[in-house]
Structures are given as C-alpha cells and as structure tokens.
Amino acid sequence: MAYTGLRRWSVLALGFTVLAGPPHLKVHTMPASSSTAFELEVEHHHTDVAVTGRAEGVRNGARVSLPLTLTRKDDAHFTVTRQWENNAAWVLVFSIEQGAQGKHGVAEAVVSVEANGKVRGVEYINPEIRKDGKPLAATTAKVNQALQALGLVTAAK
C-alpha cells in the first residue's frame, strides 16, 4: 500500500514539475512543396507566451538580422514562411518567452539553413532560468558559431 501512495505522490510531483517548469519548443521542417518552411510547436505552456523569430545572415559582407513574422495556427503551433533570401545560408533563431521578458522561462532553437534551403541542424537551448533570475537565451556566440559552421563568418582572432 505504501508503494502505491509513493507512486501517486511521484506522479503528482512530476505533474507539478511539468506545469511549473519553463516552456519548451520543437521545430518541425515542412516539405519543400509547402508554402510553410517551419512549424513551431510550443510544449508545456500555451498562454502568457511570446513566440518570436529572426534570421541571421550576411549580405554584401555585412551581418544582418531580420525579424520574422510568425503566424499562430492554434494555441500550440505557429507557422513560418520563408522570409529570407534564397540561395544564401541563414541561421534562424526561434524563441518562446513565458511571462513578461521571459520571467518564467525562455526556450530557443537555433536552426542552420544551407544556401540550398536544406536544414543542416537544429540546436535547442536548454529552457531554464539562470541563478541571476534572467532567462537563458541563445547567446551571440552560439549564433556566431552556427554562422561559422555555414561559412558565413570567420572566427574572431
């Protein structure tokens, strides 16, 4: 009987952790024939969240950052159409912030897209809040690393 009670408590504790923890994000690549390039899936929290995206790249030798327009499909899904130039590699950064300025957590994904439009990789930034109370977000260094891997920028000396 004690085991059953312990198991119930564990399930309740797990449920509370899932409800109280930071948001999560999944990036789904859509077929080339679709007008949608990506679908973002918000897991864990669907209210009090801000979902944003930006494209980081290089134009005429200069670094550029373009805000992306996302379309809400339903409470948990957002779509992204291609808003960055074809035939150029880009790094896309998608973010979910829960609460004002990410007070209750931030989840991000850094997506490397090759010049031919193929996704080279998706790196998820751990959704957590740092000890100083500020949300963990994709650092400039992380984005630079992805741009370097695509050959868009060179490593700083």
Cβ neighbors of 108 (< 8 A, separation 6 or more) are: 25, 93, 94, 95, 96, 124, 125, 137, 138
Q: Which residues of the chain have pLDDT under 70?
A: 1-22, 44-47, 126-139, 155-157
> 3-state DSSP call for residue 11?
helix
Q: What is the pLDDT of residues 26-54, one digit of tens each?
A: 999 999 888 899 999 987 665 678 899 99
The architecture (CATH level 2) of 23-149 comes to Sandwich (2.60)
Residue 24 is predicted with a pLDDT of 81
Domain residue ranges in the chain? 23-149
Question: DSSP label at 101?
Answer: G
For the whole model, what pTM was predicted? Answer: 0.77
pLDDT digits (tens, 9 = 90+) for 78-87: 999 999 998 9
